[in-house]
Amino acid sequence: MILHFQNARLIDPEALTDEPGSLTVQDGVIAALDGDAPEGATVVDCGGKHLAPGIVDWGVKIGEPGERHKESMRSAALAAAAGGVTTIVARPDTLPPIDTPEALEFVTRRAAAESPVRIRHQAALTRGREGREMVEMGFLRDAGAIAFTDGVRVVENTRLLARCMTYARGLGALVVGHPQEPGLSRGAAATKGKFASLYGIPDVSPLAERMGLERDFALVEATGVRWHADQITTAAALPVLDRARAAGLDVTAGTSIHHLTLNEFDVGDYRTFFRLTPPLRSEDDRLALVEAVADGTIDVIGSFHTPQDEEAKRLPFEMAAPGAVGLETLLPAAMRLYHQGGVPMARLWRALSLNPAERLGLPAGRLSVGAPADLVLFDPNAPFVLDRFALRSKSKNTPFDGARMEGRVIGTWVGGRRVFGEGVAAEARA
């Protein structure tokens, strides 16, 4: 089948361009740019809307195994397709964790059977994510793990972490860290400041992130491992990242869309949908992060999709389970950065698609001949009010419930096959 997208505004994150053009897809890959429709092609008139590489969402929590009532492979994949996400990079913090080749093979088979989008898996760095013993990293890498992380659980044993990094260096594997000083950040639900003091919420200083990052970078320098910081959320951490790069360390950094678009005051009257890890930061921190994305200091933007059921959220703020869903809201939330003039569209797509794909060694994230035809067609100006109960995720814990947003996905294609849009069923199976 040949598809020809015409009358589109192409977002090319490699060339950092955002301009009118056309694109032809054949046999699941991009076959040509800016040409006429081949004979016999199915023509998709984009109506002047934006056509971009599908989003590569790094850091998604899926509830299989163990918490399928919160999110299944199928429901996560349908939510991703509706949000323009063509590749999910899943976290290993399941029940039990993805810490053995057998567990990894199980979720890989489930993803292949249930998902219309691509799902790749990270594996745990330590057994049970308990920070006591290294996983069988070589076997997990052979089974398909594309990175190793214990998620938000910081490995406190520095000697063990150094050993994990050394072993990963020998394999050429990527280690993903969560930059926090665990003694300071444990139990915190807000960022230290006047707001947290006024509301009586357990808090943590932004310096905990800088301290954790400095420790991790010291170990990266000692071991030479490839390393990625999952969430940089404070201005205090950015100079540390700059120094590491200036020293030639192989490091990259990400942040969450929630920390780019929300701040500590959004908690309001103890609204637990805003209970996140790390906690929401000050407006000064948020603005510094937006600038860091715009200038390329922060490489990756992710949703950090973390489904939680109603019972886990209907608790006092500090006791509520942290996290928010984000697969379907990542794109419209990112449009806030574009419409506010903080980040140009092509630079935004570099952080949403190209950079995560390149760091993980995936062929996605680009509009070039021979690249997979993983595409999203969207209208960045389409307004709507978000209704959390209309989300395709099983869990509905979004901080954007009732918010006025702009940016609607018109169609999503994976390998040239349409997985969301006109004519594609949207019902999720249990």
pLDDT tens track for 112-133: 999 999 999 999 999 999 999 9
Domain 54-359 has CATH 3.40.50.720: no
pLDDT the model gives residue 6: 97
CB 36 within 8 A of CB 50: no
pLDDT the model gives residue 429: 43
Distance CA 141, CA 251 (A): 20
- The residue behind tokens 């489930």 is 110
Walking along the chain (430 residues) 10 residues at a time, the average pLDDT comes out as 96 97 97 93 96 98 96 98 98 98 98 97 98 98 98 97 98 97 93 91 95 98 98 97 97 98 94 96 97 98 97 95 98 98 97 98 96 98 97 97 97 98 62
DSSP category for residue 390: G
pLDDT the model gives residue 345: 98
DSSP 12-68: ETTTTEEEEEEEEEETTEEEEES-PPPTTPEEEE-TT-EEEEPEEEEEE---TTT-T
pLDDT the model gives residue 424: 75
pLDDT the model gives residue 425: 61
pLDDT the model gives residue 269: 87
pLDDT the model gives residue 290: 98
- Tell me whether the omega of the peptide bond preceding residue 182 falls within 30 degrees of 0, making it cis: no
Question: Crossing angle of helices 101-114/73-82, nearest 10°?
Answer: 50
3-state secondary structure of 190: strand
pLDDT the model gives residue 426: 52
Count, residues in the chain? 430
141 φ, ψ to 5°? -65, -40
pLDDT the model gives residue 430: 45
Distance CA 128, CA 97 (A): 6
Residues with Cβ within 8 Å of residue 381, at least 6 apart in sequence: 406, 407
